[in-house]
Structure 1
Amino acid sequence: MTYIDGFVAAVPTVSKDKYIEHAKLSSVVFKGYGALKIIEAWGDNVPDGDVTSFPMAVKCAKDETVVFSTVVWPSKEVRDAGWAAIMEDPRMHPDQNPMPFDGKRLIYGGFDVILEE
């Protein structure tokens, strides 16, 4: 069954083009190691919450935009092997493909798909 990685980050709004370039290169690497699909979504209607919200979760500043990303894998096994290879791939090292955002505020996780229609 399909496996999903999900990510939420706060990206400086002025760095949108840099983020897109980072995402394009990253997507080539991820697909090369078995990912089926990568979706990068730039926040458009992401409200602040009273108790919790995407902006609160990543400590989004006024000059930042929330980004929501997913990577779809054919299975957890392919994902685990893919991640091991991705972490060793020089194209993903900071000197080759620097993250244009504060990685300390990145939220991520892997998810078993329980419904897909």
Structure 2
Amino acid sequence: MSTYVDGFVIPIPKTKVNAYKKMAKMGAKTWMKHGALAYYECVADDIKAPYSINFPTMTKAKKNETVIFAFIVFKSKAHRNKVNAKVHKEFGEMPGAENFAMPFDVSKMAFGGFKTLAQG
């Protein structure tokens, strides 16, 4: 069975990484509770790219920013749509949800759903 993946690339101020980590842990718990197969939120570490463009260049990250690479794995696109609907409903019902501010500039985030070509 081929899985489906939601992928994210996010430039984020280095001073906001701890706030992001707290949010990511809550996200992991919630997505997994609602059926995601895997959930990863990763911060840039070894991003030298001598043979290709690097993530900071690709995202136009500023000197005070680093890059988050994240992905969530689902059974299928339909499964992803069901899980995400449950997650967004739960987040929307949380106290203070209407005033929640992301620890990064959402307009700089890249997001998309991907069909899996190969997995091991």
Aligned to 2:118: 115
Aligned to 1:62: 63
Aligned to 1:106: 109
**1:5 and 1:78 mapped to 2: Cα distance?**
12
Q: Which amino acid aligns with 2:29?
A: V
Q: Greater CA radius of gyration, 1 or 2? A: 2
Give the deviation of 1:45 after TM superposition. Answer: 2.3
Q: Secondary structure of 2:71's partner? A: strand
Q: Which amino acid aligns with 1:83?
A: N
Structure 1 87/110 Cα, relative in aligned 2: closer, same or farther at 3 Å?
same
Aligned to 1:72: 73
Give the deviation of 1:53 after TM superposition. Answer: 4.0
Say what the alpha-carbon RMSD is for the aligned residues. Answer: 2.4
Unpaired stretches in structure 1, ≥5 consecutive residues: none
Q: Which amino acid aligns with 1:113?
A: T
Give the deviation of 1:33 after TM superposition. Answer: 2.0
Q: Which amino acid aligns with 1:18?
A: A
Over the matched positions of the two proteins, sequence identity in percent amounts to: 30
TM (norm. structure 2) is 0.82
Aligned length: 116
Q: Which amino acid aligns with 2:117?
A: I
